Amino acid sequence: MAIYIQLDKVTDDGRLVKYSFATMSGPRRTLVFDREEERMWPEDGNWDGIFRGAAQVVGRAWRNGGELPDSMELRA
């Protein structure tokens, strides 16, 4: 089964970054990343596989230089 997740930056106040994310057929959700604590969580509390996939994309971007682009995607 293939998966595609699109992430779009919604807000960035220098500490907290929020990304809206969704699969092709799922509802839009929000991932929150805290730069200072280097942790992230789903705004809706649902830690499912879709969130974990989105978190991997954000985590990879953060580890590869700390830049968090305006949009990212996961194709797996």
Residue holding tokens 């942790």?
39
Q: What is the mean pLDDT of the chain?
A: 95
Statement: residue 13 has pLDDT above 80: yes
Statement: residue 18 has pLDDT above 70: yes
Higher per-residue confidence, 21 vs 2: 21
- Torsional sign, CA 62, 38, 15, 3: positive
Other Cβ atoms within 10 Å of 21 Cβ, number: 25
Residues β-bridged to residue 7: 21, 72
Higher per-residue confidence, 25 vs 46: 46
Statement: residue 1 has pLDDT above 70: no
pLDDT at site 65: 87
Contact by Cβ (8 Å): 33, 16: yes
| Amino acid in position 64 | N
Closest C-alpha to 29, from 12, 2, 47, 13 = 47
